[in-house]
Structure 1
Amino acid sequence: MGGACGYGNLFNSGYGLDTAALSTTLFKDGYGCGQCFQIMCVQTQYCYYGNPSTVVTATNLCPPNWYQDSNNGGWCNPPRTHFDMAKPAFMKLANWKAGIIPVAYRRVPCKRSGGMRFQFQGNAYWLLIFVMNVGGAGDIKSMDVKGSRTNWICMIHNWGASYQAFSSLYGQSLSFRVTSYTTGQKFYAWNVAPSNWNAGMTYQSYTNFR
């Protein structure tokens, strides 16, 4: 559960078991978090009949293993593109005993149920937000926060799908502006958190990227 994107419980964050850890090349220092890929098993006897495909969400990093050759254990070494799939997702494509299979893949839009989710961490002077259940391209390039008594404040990418602001925002209702890494599209979550917001809480917008 969770992983390098910071999504925590993948059921609560809207991703379930159709997930994968990405190699460094695809992970892009966390900007690949939330992206969706259609993956098809190809060119191996272990593929199920008809070469089925499935869609997974990137929720973790598959780190490089510099002690292993890229073709023999170091599957996630740059510049390889590799998906370390959750077992339930892998078993939609091929026999689990195969271990490693060749695949064809492509980016696809992320279909999410409900609005974008903002999990709050930090304190009255440091706000850390984990953004989850992102639709459309699924990824985030940048994020801004606006208190009910402030202008827009640029947030700093922390790690994975988290962004931080060193500002005193407690006691204000908060809005967020989220920009997609892939498309540049902007999403506004107006007054998504009430003025009595607290760390540890998750707040959800009414809409999402399409």
Structure 2
Amino acid sequence: MACRAGGALVGAMLVLISLSSVVEAQFGGFCDPFQAPTGGWTGGTATFYSGGRGGACGFGGLGYAIYGERYAAASMKIWQNGAACGMCVEIKCMGPSGCYAGKIVKVTITDFCPNTHPNLAHCGPEKNHIDMGQNSFPVIANPRVGVINIQYRVVPCNAYGNFQVQINGNQYGWLSLLIAQIPGSGRVVGCEVQGAGMNYWEGLRRVWGSNWMRTGTPLKTPIHVRLSLLGQICKVTSRNCIPNGFYFGQAVKCNLR
């Protein structure tokens, strides 16, 4: 009996290893990057502002085309040096007045609410504060109240079939990638590239917001891009993401499926 139980255990382990290999081959990580866990509700405050066509993540016009009016700026505690860029959040109003009962709005973090005057009252270092787009706030509360208490939680972003990249670089070794429209958790924690003919992945560094950069020997095109997404650290790979003859400011869609 003990031998049969041990054999069954070994068999189960082999099946698990086999399944894990399939998942890794398909998704580049031991999880499904198109899904992400929903976080618990956290208390905080919210205000609203205009100007969502820019933002500290650097999404700019590309981000506005993707996220539209559902943008938001995060306080330092939520921002975490830009790691919150692309994070999707559900928000509901908790008072003390002006709330629309049962209403929840989903926004994407595209900006930073600086912990400087006159923002210290809301966006100080220890504050859980979200400065919402001026057209998102009215979904959950009367804008006349100005400031509300909220509950917010991190939720999965859309299961996009591609991510978008704005190429800010040249053919001579400097490559800077602005990455937007991320599936799953929406948060990129690592970016790697592989030029044509390379047999290894080269890591880029986050320079600010959602911008990742490398310098050095020029990469041969087309260039593959691999992203590490926060969660269980899923890796997603887009082959031939950066095309031949790319140019500064070019926006490309990089397929994931």
Q: TM-score, normalised by structure 2?
A: 0.74
Once residues 66 and 17 of structure 1 are traced to their aligned partners in structure 2, the CA distance between those partners, rounded to angstroms, is: 26
Once residues 122 and 205 of structure 1 are traced to their aligned partners in structure 2, the CA distance between those partners, rounded to angstroms, is: 17
Provide the residue aligned with 1:25 in structure 2.
Answer: 77
Once residues 117 and 143 of structure 2 are traced to their aligned partners in structure 1, the CA distance between those partners, rounded to angstroms, is: 25
SS at match of 1:54: strand
Q: Does 2:188 correspond to 1:137?
A: no
- Structure showing greater radius of gyration is 2
Q: Among 118, 126, 131, which residue is 2:174 paired with?
A: 126
SS at match of 1:191: strand
Q: Among 64, 78, 97, which residue is 1:11 paired with?
A: 64
Give runs of ≥4 in structure 1 deviating > 4 Å: none
Once residues 237 and 64 of structure 2 are traced to their aligned partners in structure 1, the CA distance between those partners, rounded to angstroms, is: 24
SS at match of 1:55: strand
Once residues 117 and 167 of structure 1 are traced to their aligned partners in structure 2, the CA distance between those partners, rounded to angstroms, is: 24
Provide the residue aligned with 2:93 in structure 1.
Answer: 41
**Per-residue deviation, residues 164-195 of structure 1 (Å, max 9, x unmatched):** 01133355111111001333010101111222
Once residues 83 and 161 of structure 1 are traced to their aligned partners in structure 2, the CA distance between those partners, rounded to angstroms, is: 18
Q: Does 2:203 correspond to 1:166?
A: no
Q: Among 104, 115, 136, which residue is 1:89 paired with?
A: 136
SS at match of 1:4: coil
Once residues 66 and 88 of structure 1 are traced to their aligned partners in structure 2, the CA distance between those partners, rounded to angstroms, is: 24
SS at match of 1:57: strand
Deviation at 1:207, TM superposition (A): 2.7
Pairing 1:199-210 to 2, within 5 Å after superposition: 199-207=248-256
Q: Give, as a single letter, the amino acid of the residue that structure 2 aligns with 1:88.
A: N
Determine if contact 1:171/1:196 at 8 Å carries over to the other structure: no
Q: Give, as a single letter, the amino acid of the residue that structure 1 aligns with 2:225.
A: F
Pairing 1:66-105 to 2, within 5 Å after superposition: 74-105=121-152
User: For residues 88 and 67 of structure 1, do their structure 2 counterparts lie closer, same or farther at Cα, with a shift above 3 Å needed?
Assistant: closer
Q: Give, as a single letter, the amino acid of the residue that structure 2 aligns with 1:143.
A: C
Q: Which runs of no fewer than 5 residues in structure 2 stay unpaired? A: 1-52
Once residues 75 and 232 of structure 2 are traced to their aligned partners in structure 1, the CA distance between those partners, rounded to angstroms, is: 22
**Per-residue deviation, residues 73-99 of structure 1 (Å, max 9, x unmatched):** x20001111000001110101111111
Provide the residue aligned with 1:65 in structure 2.
Answer: 116
User: For residues 62 and 112 of structure 1, do their structure 2 counterparts lie closer, same or farther at Cα, with a shift above 3 Å needed?
Assistant: farther
Q: Which runs of no fewer than 5 residues in structure 1 stay unpaired? A: none
| Percent of residue pairs identical | 28
More helix by share: 2
Deviation at 1:196, TM superposition (A): 1.4
Deviation at 1:139, TM superposition (A): 0.4
Determine if contact 1:170/1:195 at 8 Å carries over to the other structure: no
CA-based RMSD of the aligned residues comes to 1.6
Once residues 54 and 183 of structure 2 are traced to their aligned partners in structure 1, the CA distance between those partners, rounded to angstroms, is: 18
Matched pairs, number: 202
Q: Does 2:246 correspond to 1:197?
A: yes
Once residues 135 and 190 of structure 1 are traced to their aligned partners in structure 2, the CA distance between those partners, rounded to angstroms, is: 17
